[in-house]
Each structure stands twice: as C-alpha cells, then as structure tokens.
C-alpha cells in the first residue's frame, strides 16, 4: 500500500522537521526525493515522481507543496496511489491552509482512511518533545515537559533538538530532567530572576519589570527563551482561571510576536522589548 501523509499548518520549521522525520523513517535518500508544486503538477509529473524507480535507493518519496491548488484528476490519482501496491514510495502533501481538508475538492481525500493527516498546531512542539523522549528513552518530569513546550514554542526544531540533547547529557544515563534543569540550561538564567521579571510584568510594576529585564539581558539570556518562560507562566495561571479573558489576550499577544519572530519580521530582542512594553501599557489592558 502506498504511504501518503497530508500536512496542514503554517510553520515551515516544523514542516521541515516532520518531513525529515518521515523521510528517515522510510529510509529515503536525497537522490530519491522529488519536490513538486501543487498548481503546476500534472498527472505525468505525479506518476513519474511516484512510480519511477530510483537507481540508488530502494525507497523513494515525493513532496507536493500548495496542495490546495492541485487539479481534481491529480487528487484522484493521489487517492488511488494511497491504496496501491507502491509500498516503497512515500508521498507527502503540504499546505499552509489549516482548513484545506474542508474544501469540496478534498471530500474524497478527506474520507480516504489510507491517508494520514497531520495538523501542525501549538501541540506540535509537545508532540516532537514526546517523540524525542520515547526515541531516546529519556526520563523527564511532567512539569519539565510543560516548561519546555512553552519555552521552545518560539524556536525551530533544530533548537528544540539541541536543547533536548543538552538536557539529556546533563541528566546522564539514569538521571531525570526536571524543572531546575530546564531553568538552568534552557532558560540560560536563574529561574528566580525569570519568574521575578514575569511577576513584575504581570502586576504592572513598570520600574521593577524593566530593571529585571535589564538584569536578565546582562546575563546573556536568549530573548526567545524569556518569552517562552513568560508563556509558560501565563499558561500555568490559565489552568487555575480558564475563563480569564485578560490572560487569554496576553497569551494571544505572545503568539503574535512569536509568529513575527519566526517570519523574521522582528528580532528576538526587539520582540521581547515590545512585548514587555505592550503588556505593561498596551491597549488590551
């Protein structure tokens, strides 16, 4: 049976991480990989990508981007492939449109049980961390996982993997990654300094917040990690007050800045400064 995956989401760094993971799982070498663009893909190109044997690799793969632009006959061929005997071929379909599967053209594809769907949401970081834990048999506390998920959500998979490798080495073969390890190694600053800044910020103590922020920067801490720590603290507060609209708005604001950081629209340092100012003086509050 042909293996087909449908990936929806707007985060290219996680797209790349998931694609790399799928290619590794199916032992696909670079020479056996074809990349196509949805709008320009026709049946001839699709069939060549899916059914032409590689000279150097037993397995092969095809990645198609912007699949929301695929023609109906190509979509039909993809569904047929997913139920075919092409067991050595991997097909990865990618779209940034998180609602793509709701399109009428994808009705049959949506119903195809042989096609695996992946929705890249805020849970992706958590899932990637969990996959790493299982693959490397790492012992880690639930609190540490929650902290990492928030702190690393504004980072690429390369950074996430690096942090997990670092924490695993720190914990040792039989050790456990806990909250203190995450604070010391991933936050790159003293936990009390981080949460003191967060407390001053959330309580609108302007002078103290800016003083703490300056102190944090002087330690050489990564701004993205500080923003992640802020996100983690807000989520903890939201657990106790799930209906708090202000908390939800603050979390939404952090996600807005995180997206701008990932797209390169603002530097991490500037994002932290702007976020601090807006949380203290923004129109939301």
Query: Which residues partner with 6 through β-bridges?
Result: 93, 117
pLDDT, residue 285, reads 42
Query: Which tens digit of pLDDT belongs to each residue from 208-264?
Result: 888 888 887 777 667 777 787 777 777 777 767 777 888 888 888 888 887 787 677
pTM above 0.75, yes or no: no
What φ, ψ does residue 190 adopt, rounded to 5°?
-65, 130
Locate 86 and state its tokens. 């092409």
- Mean pLDDT, residues 136-145 taken together: 85
Locate 237 and state its tokens. 């507060």
- Mean pLDDT, residues 142-153 taken together: 76
- 143 Cβ neighbours under 8 A, 6+ residues apart: 178, 179
Q: Is pLDDT at 12 greater than 70 in this prediction?
A: no
The closest alpha carbon to 209, from 217, 218, 199, 200, belongs to 200
- What domains sit in the chain, N to C, each tagged with a CATH number? 3-121 (3.40.50.300), 125-281 (no CATH)
151 vs 265, more confident: 265
- Rounded mean pLDDT of the chain? 78
Which among 48-52, 118-122, 147-151 has the top mean pLDDT?
A: 48-52
pLDDT, residue 64, reads 92
| Inter-CA distances, 153 with 41, 194, 252, Å | 33, 17, 13
Q: Is pLDDT at 56 greater than 50 in this prediction?
A: yes
- Mean pLDDT, residues 191-215 taken together: 80
Query: Which tens digit of pLDDT belongs to each residue from 100-137?
Result: 777 787 788 777 777 887 765 544 677 778 878 888 88
> How far is Cα 198 from Cα 213, in angstroms, rounded to an integer?
9
């Amino acid at each position: 049976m042909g293996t087909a995956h449908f990936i929806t989401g707007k985060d290219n760094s996680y797209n790349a991480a998931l694609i790399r993971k799928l290619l590794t799982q199916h032992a696909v070498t670079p020479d056996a990989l074809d990349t196509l663009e949805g709008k320009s893909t026709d049946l001839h190109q699709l069939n060549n990508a899916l059914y032409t044997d590689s000279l150097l690799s037993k397995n092969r793969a095809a990645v198609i981007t912007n699949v929301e632009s695929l023609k109906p006959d190509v979509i039909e061929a993809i569904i047929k492939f997913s139920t075919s005997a092409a067991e050595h071929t991997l097909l990865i379909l990618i779209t940034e449109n998180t609602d793509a599967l709701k399109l009428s053209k994808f009705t049959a594809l949506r119903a195809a049980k042989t096609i695996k769907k992946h929705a890249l949401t805020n849970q992706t970081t958590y899932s990637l961390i969990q996959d790493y834990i299982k693959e490397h048999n790492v012992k880690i506390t639930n609190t540490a996982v929650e902290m990492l998920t928030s702190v690393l959500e504004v980072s690429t998979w390369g950074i996430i993997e690096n942090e997990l490798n670092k924490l695993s080495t720190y914990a040792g073969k039989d050790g456990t990654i806990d909250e203190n390890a995450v604070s010391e190694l991933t936050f790159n600053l003293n936990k009390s300094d981080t949460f003191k800044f967060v407390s001053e910020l959330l309580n609108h103590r302007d002078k103290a917040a800016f003083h703490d922020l300056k102190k944090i920067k002087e330690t050489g801490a990564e701004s993205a990690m500080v923003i992640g720590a802020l996100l983690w603290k807000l989520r903890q507060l939201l657990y106790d007050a799930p209906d708090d609209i202000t908390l939800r708005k603050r979390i939404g604001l952090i996600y807005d800045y995180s997206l701008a950081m990932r797209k390169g629209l603002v530097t991490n340092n500037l994002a932290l400064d702007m976020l601090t100012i807006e949380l203290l003086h923004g129109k939301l509050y």
